[in-house]
Amino acid sequence: MFKITAKTILFISLIGLISACVTNIAGRKQVMLVSESSAIQASKQAYVNTLSPLEKAGKLNNDAKLVKRINRITDKLIQQAVAKRPDSRQWEWSVKVIDEPEVINAWCMAGGKMAIYTGLINKLSATDDEIAQVMGHEISHALANHSAERMSIAMANNLALSLLKSSTEASDQSMSLAAAAAQIALTLPNSRKSESEADILGIELAAKAGFNPNAAVTLWQKMAQAGGNGGPEFMSTHPSPENRQQALKKLIPQMMPLYKAANKNK
């Protein structure tokens, strides 16, 4: 007689998450193990799991001036993200500044859960325009459903399953697995295609928000200069081919009218 175990229920629940081929905002078809709504729910838990130990360790930056600066930049980007994808208005957008002076990194989970590290801001002497390019790029990954795509890879490769061997509750397993996959997805490299999509969407969001498109090039120049032997953590999850700066330069003439229009009445 077939025995229904917690693992069996978990497997069935995961199969139930499989969605049909979907087309993202960039026009590319994606085959998903995880739906975007499931990715957003899992990312809420993963965001808490990621930030809680940092908060306990005093690693969440509370410098009022810096937090205000980052919020001002990301608020403008969020406005453009919502204009691009009206359904994202329902997302619970949030950004935190993580006080890690040596970490050059930033990310955005599914559903608009963001973070930027002080190392990126200070070690790169990043301007507002450059920070907007970073965060616009990261927001674009969420808009284009790349987070769910990476979560699907994490689940498909069972990267998170070993974390749950001691769990006995199937429902807890399912949610914990999804949250673990959401956290692991942050460390997985994006495909070159995903990076190209985020570059194009990100520079557009930033230009429409009133940030100089030329900063997309200066940002990556600074990233390369900060590389040293290992390279910034940001570049480890964002593969940067040699022609990337050239590709961004080619986009600038298309973006300058958007940038000028955004600043016309200022």
Backbone angles phi, psi at 107, to 5 degrees: -160, 165
Distance CA 167, CA 177 (A): 10
Residue 210 backbone class (left: φ over 0; alpha: ψ -120 to 50; beta: rest): left
The token pair that represents 39 in the structure block = 């990715």
Residue 42: predicted pLDDT: 86
Type of residue numbered 187 = T
Helix runs in the chain, H state only: 6-17, 36-56, 64-84, 118-123, 128-143, 146-156, 170-185, 192-208, 215-225, 233-236, 244-263
Give me the helix-helix angle, 64-84 and 128-143, nearest 10°: 40
Cβ count within 10 A of residue 50: 20
Give me the helix-helix angle, 146-156 and 170-185, nearest 10°: 120
pTM here? 0.79
**Residues that are catalytic:** 138
**Per-residue tens of pLDDT for the chain, all 266 residues:** 334 444 444 444 444 444 456 788 877 777 677 788 888 998 899 899 999 999 999 999 989 999 999 999 999 999 999 999 999 999 999 999 999 999 999 999 999 999 999 999 999 999 999 999 999 999 999 999 887 877 776 666 554 445 444 444 444 555 555 556 555 555 555 667 778 899 999 999 999 999 999 999 999 889 888 864 445 655 555 555 567 788 899 999 999 999 999 998 66
Residue 215: predicted pLDDT: 97
Whats the size of the chain, residue-wise?
A: 266
Among 196, 191, 214, which residue's Cα sits nearest to residue 132? 214
